[in-house]
Copies of this chain bind each other. A is one copy, B any other.
């Protein structure tokens, strides 16, 4: 399963795919690994305040295209991953993950009580918008993990942030789940002949402007 490139080479190989070949489907075993990479990502205090929604339903993918600034990669993708973050921190959500943690680690139920109490003291008094800004940020680390994992598996992706979040939340009934959409990641295989970006050089700020060294 492992390719012969170094991870750095796979990150250079990766690009934001502009045209997928809709006939080429990604093996579900590879998609599972891309989702698992997101699942493994670190999050603030281990709260893991987001979920991944994996969409293969073609009709639904097509409904999302106009919500995503008409980016047809959504419909042409093999699988569409939506990263959706908790709309807020709640006492129940914080308790749930720490109860699961102590069970899973076979620890006393009150093992993290002091820590959990401090988390609640911090988050539960904050405005919902401030907490959502924080949960949303956590999803970005996982998004990075999934993009890197996909590249390692030679699966193409288009990182997408520019879409009508409220419309997508409504279409996917996310409000009822206490979630808000943050990011989308269509997965598939590039249609090289019809992708204007595939052969253009990857451009970044010159390294001297990107890195500041303090020795």
Could you tell me which A residues sit within 8 Å of B by CB distance? 1-2, 6-8, 11-12, 14, 16, 33, 35-37, 39-42, 44, 46, 48, 51-57, 60, 97, 100-101, 104-105, 133, 136-138, 140-145, 147-149, 152, 159, 161-162, 172, 177, 200-207, 209-215
Taking a contact as CB atoms closer than 8 A, the residue among B56, B104, B204, B206 that contacts A214 in the complex is B56
**Which chain B positions have C-beta within 8 A of A142?**
144
Assuming A41-B144, A54-B212, what are 10 further A-B pairs, CB within 8 angstroms? A11-B41, A11-B149, A12-B40, A39-B211, A40-B204, A51-B211, A51-B212, A54-B213, A55-B214, A140-B140
Shortest CB–CB separation between residue A12 and chain B, in angstroms?
Answer: 6
Interface centre among A33, A148, A159, A207 (most CB of B within 10 A): A148
**Which chain B positions have C-beta within 8 A of A56?**
213-215
Interface centre among A16, A36, A46, A105 (most CB of B within 10 A): A36
Query: How often does this chain occur in the complex, in copies?
Result: 2
Do B206 and A100 have beta carbons less than 8 Å apart?
yes
Do B215 and A57 have beta carbons less than 8 Å apart?
yes
Which chain B residue has the least Cβ–Cβ distance from A213? B54
Do A8 and B159 have beta carbons less than 8 Å apart?
no
Do B35 and A8 have beta carbons less than 8 Å apart?
no
**Which chain B positions have C-beta within 8 A of A100?**
203, 205-206
Interchain residue pairs with CB less than 8 A apart (18): A6-B152, A7-B7, A7-B149, A8-B33, A8-B37, A48-B205, A51-B210, A53-B212, A54-B211, A54-B214, A57-B214, A60-B214, A101-B203, A105-B200, A138-B140, A140-B143, A145-B148, A177-B212
